[in-house]
Amino acid sequence: MLKESQIYLCIFFLLAFGILYEFSLEPGCFFSCKPVAKQLVMPQDVLSKGRSIIFLETTDHLQPPPLVLCSVESAARIYSDRAIFFFMQGLNNSTMTDFKLTSPSLSFLSAMKNVFLFPLEMDILFQDTPLFRWYHQVNATQEKNWVYIISDAIRLAMVWKYGGTYMDTDVISIQPIPVTNFLAAQSSQFSSNGILGFQRHHWFLWDCMVDFVQHYNGAIWGHQGPHLITRMLKKLCNLTDFNNVEDQTCHNISFLHPQRFYPIPYTLWHKYYEVWDSKPDFNESYALHLWNFMNRKEKRNVTIGSNFLVENLFRTHCPTTYQSLIQAAQRSKQMSQNKTSPLW
């Protein structure tokens, strides 16, 4: 009698744990409901679902600075039902096996459920696009703007092939972008290419890639980047100046108002590294572009306790990155105390 009830009890617990386990699985399981090891997932398996958010690192660096980590983390939080891709030139099958060894800062990103880190395989990427021939003819070592040029090329091919949204790694996401096919106005009548989104195989991106190759001039900065997007858009539509905070549309492509991503224009980029009297809510913006390019000489950073706008953005939109900065600050404080305190 006692034995029987023990068996029933056992079965009950097994069932209960089974059910609990089912529910503890990701509710949205958008790419696969089976817990497949992420290392075994191939980019095309997930990318082909579209709607992904795509980030790039076209240098060999495997230790991304805090702003890059924040950019990816904030997107992963805002777009929790989509796959976030971070393609890195420095990754390959050997460096990818253990991020804890190769890059501790990447290991927290790769642990996020919807974040995928992949090597950049350009040969495969450019196949079946107008960029393939160009890529095999150009001599990268002779191009002084190569890091920018190749990045401009990759984002066009990537979004054309798979669909989704490309973002620069100095963009902090704060709310979801409500449209699929869009370009970001940096100012009236000027489009950036730092953030753009399209459904798969959209003709606009194909036309951009054709123009990229036809009018290629690596010596002019941005010629294949924002200037390309702007001239292609202007060929299609007569852009007008923006009124209030209203977006424009051109052949069903939304041309999003500068407030959406650039509420602080590049001339005022320092504002991100200042204390603000009142806390801005950026409620008309989907993401904030922090103009890292402008910061390349001064190399301003997020300093814990500064109360700068950027620190508050980190605290709110990428709390894990922020926590790791706090820990790093505490460690270096300890270290300097250990140095100054006598050993006896």
Ligand X SMILES: *[C@@H]1O[C@H](CO)[C@@H](O)[C@H](O)[C@H]1NC(C)=O
Residue with tokens 């980047």: 225
Shortest reach from residue 134's CB to ligand X, in Å: 14
C-alpha separations of 231 from 95, 179, 191, 259 in Å: 40, 22, 9, 21
Question: Do 158 and 124 touch, CB atoms closer than 8 A?
Answer: no
Tell me how far apart the terminal alpha carbons of the chain are, to the nearest angstrom. 70
Can you give the binding site for ligand X, defined by CB under 6 A?
60, 90, 92-95, 139, 141-142, 236-238, 251-252, 283-284, 301, 303, 331, 334-335, 338
Q: Which is nearer to ligand X, 26 or 179 (CB)?
A: 179
How far is residue 17's CA from residue 9's CA, in Å, rounded to a whole number? 12
Burial of 234 from C-beta contacts in 10 A (0-12 / 13-18 / 19+):
middle
Shortest reach from residue 4's CB to ligand X, in Å: 51
Burial of 134 from C-beta contacts in 10 A (0-12 / 13-18 / 19+):
middle
Q: Which is nearer to ligand X, 26 or 62 (CB)?
A: 62
Tell me the chain's radius of gyration from C-alpha atoms.
23
Shortest reach from residue 97's CB to ligand X, in Å: 10
Shortest reach from residue 257's CB to ligand X, in Å: 11
Shortest reach from residue 296's CB to ligand X, in Å: 14
Q: Which is nearer to ligand X, 3 or 339 (CB)?
A: 339
Residue with tokens 């089974």: 18
Shortest reach from residue 233's CB to ligand X, in Å: 10
Q: Which is nearer to ligand X, 252 or 307 (CB)?
A: 252
Shortest reach from residue 239's CB to ligand X, in Å: 9
Q: Which is nearer to ligand X, 133 or 331 (CB)?
A: 331
Q: Which is nearer to ligand X, 238 or 340 (CB)?
A: 238
Q: Which is nearer to ligand X, 24 or 283 (CB)?
A: 283
C-alpha separations of 211 from 159, 163, 240 in Å: 16, 20, 23
Q: Which is nearer to ligand X, 90 or 194 (CB)?
A: 90
How far is residue 142's CA from residue 1's CA, in Å, rounded to a whole number? 85
Shortest reach from residue 252's CB to ligand X, in Å: 4
Question: Do 119 and 96 touch, CB atoms closer than 8 A?
Answer: yes
What is the DSSP pairing of strand 190-198 with strand 253-256? unpaired
C-alpha separations of 27 from 30, 53, 81, 229 in Å: 9, 20, 10, 38
Shortest reach from residue 157's CB to ligand X, in Å: 18
Q: Which is nearer to ligand X, 6 or 44 (CB)?
A: 44
C-alpha separations of 170 from 84, 213, 238 in Å: 15, 27, 30
How far is residue 145's CA from residue 87's CA, in Å, rounded to a whole number? 20
